[in-house]
Amino acid sequence: MGVAVVFAVVGFGFFLIGLLIGRSKIFLPGEAGFREGLWGFSWFAMFMSVTIFVGREFAAAPAALDKSSVIQLAWVSLAVALILVSFVRVRLWLGFASAPIVLFLAYGVIGFASSIFSPQPMFSLYKSGLVVIDAILAAGMLSLALKYRNTNLVNFSLGLIVLALGGALFGAILWPTEAFQPKPGVFGTMLYGTLPKLHPNELGMWAGIVTVVSLVRWYVATRLRGKWCWALMSIAAAVVVLLAQSRTSIAAILVSLTIIVPYLAKSRAQAIFGSILVALIAVGVLGMIAVIYGEGILFGGVVNYLERGQGEGGLATFHDRMWAWMNIGWPLFVESPIVGHGFDAGVRFGSDVTIGHLHNSYFQVLANSGLLGFLPWVAALIIGSIGLMRHAWLCRSAALAERVCALIPLLILIGLLARTWTGSVLVSHAWSTMMFLALIINLYVERKKRQL
């Protein structure tokens, strides 16, 4: 644990210096401010409603009204009150011109209606209701963003997540025995978020996203202050990825890097040269380590890190995830293929095996919501993803600033989608769902700008 704590101290030092240098630019790196008013505060309240600081452990079935649940209800109530107070300010139907937002609304409404089939009907009603609120809130935010022809929602949300990563590093320093749970692997521990509470896999996902986004912002920054800020943030986030031992995040980072280098290159020759240079540097670093320490230590360490002490079987089966998909998720879906077993409740409460989720978003939605819920949900992901990829492609020859505005949402999307295969994200009210909706809002605003 000692080495892990040292890494946490170094990482937090980088984070703190970067935060002091960047200040408000962490939340609003552009010139425009945040003008959504009460709807913006409502977004913040819904974001905070899934930011857990006290009262909940990582269990399959947490208490119905523990401290974190009470706090969440308070934040949600505040968000709903703010929406109702400022409802007349927006033309909500303009926001529902976005197909992914409408489909997410349908996903929540279907979950609401099918809660009668849930083993915990009130639980499913509440959980699906949160998704409905998310969709309505996103529609309102899109309406306002179209009015102002600008939005900083993605940057603002990502800024809050940056603070959470800093909190994870700070918590690891304050409470190392709580933050570093014993797990097989290189460090013998895995980093759990404590300020706020985050599972290592979720922590690693967001840290991977912040790593690549900060790297892009460092590359395009024109002032020395910006260069230092984003370089330090990228390093701090990379430390979190390392301590959380998130394999999916590492894969997403590698995919993102193969896109960043050619996309930001000023010419085809520069793109080719940059890609070759990145590959040579990687090979060179590995080669030097192999020469100095021996190839057995090098590659043994890499394999040990990826396996996290699980052995060949653990690496091949993704920590028994495939067993859960085929022996819990698929039988639940076959048993009730149309309406499922209750929104966000079937897997948790309807299975003989105690498990919180299936480590796969697609099996999770199929088992919980059936085809009626799965179809609008997966359609929202497909339409939104195609839209973001198409926008990035259309901007490939644009000015650098416009390319960056199209690239950063795509990088965030890569991190989210990578996690859908090994975790349960985007399936209920969570940071991931709010971030995806923020990406959709940003996409429609950028499309509007290009049409003008």
* Closest CA relative to residue 388, chosen from 437, 440, 449, 450: 440
- Checking DSSP bridges between strand 193-194 and strand 180-182, what pairing results, if any? unpaired
Mean pLDDT of 47-65: 66
* pLDDT attached to residue 62: 46
Q: Please determine, for residue 187, whether its predicted confidence score (pLDDT) is greater than 80.
A: no
Instruction: Please give the helix or strand (H or E) that residue 181 lies within, else none.
Output: strand 180-182
Q: Among residues 169, 318, 148, which one has the least CA distance to residue 244?
A: 169
With a cut of 90, say whether residue 449 has pLDDT above it.
no
What is the mean pLDDT of the segment spanning 353-372? 84
Mean pLDDT across the stretch 202-218?
94
Pairing of β 197-198 and β 180-182:
unpaired
Yes or no: say if 392 and 263 are a contact pair by the CB < 8 Å rule: yes
| Amino acid 60: pLDDT | 46
Please tell me the predicted confidence (pLDDT) of residue 289.
46
Residue 350 has pLDDT above 50, yes or no: yes
pLDDT of residue 448: 81
Please state the length of the chain: 452
Q: Which helix (H) or strand (E) holds 145?
A: helix 121-148
Average pLDDT over residues 420-448: 93
C-beta of residue 394 within 8 angstroms of C-beta of residue 449 = no
Instruction: Tell me: cis bond preceding 337? Omega within 30 of 0 counts.
Output: no
Q: What pLDDT score does 59 carry?
A: 46
Mean pLDDT of 254-271: 81
State the pLDDT at residue 371: 96
Out of 134-143, 177-186, 223-232, pick the least confident. Answer: 177-186
What is the mean predicted confidence (pLDDT) over 362-386? 95
Report which of 210, 213, 202 is spatially closest to residue 430, judged by C-alpha positions: 202
b/e burial code for range 249-260 (CB count within 10 A of at least 16 → b): bbbbbebbbeeb
Tell me the mean pLDDT in the region 378-396. 95
The confidence score (pLDDT) of residue 63 equals 46
Cα–Cα distance, 120 to 344 (Å, whole number):
10
**250-259 own/partner pairs: CB under 8 Å, 24+ apart:** 250/208, 251/418, 252/205, 252/208, 252/209, 252/414, 252/415, 252/418, 252/419, 253/208, 253/211, 253/212, 255/414, 255/418, 256/212, 256/411, 256/414, 256/415, 257/212, 259/407, 259/410, 259/411, 259/414
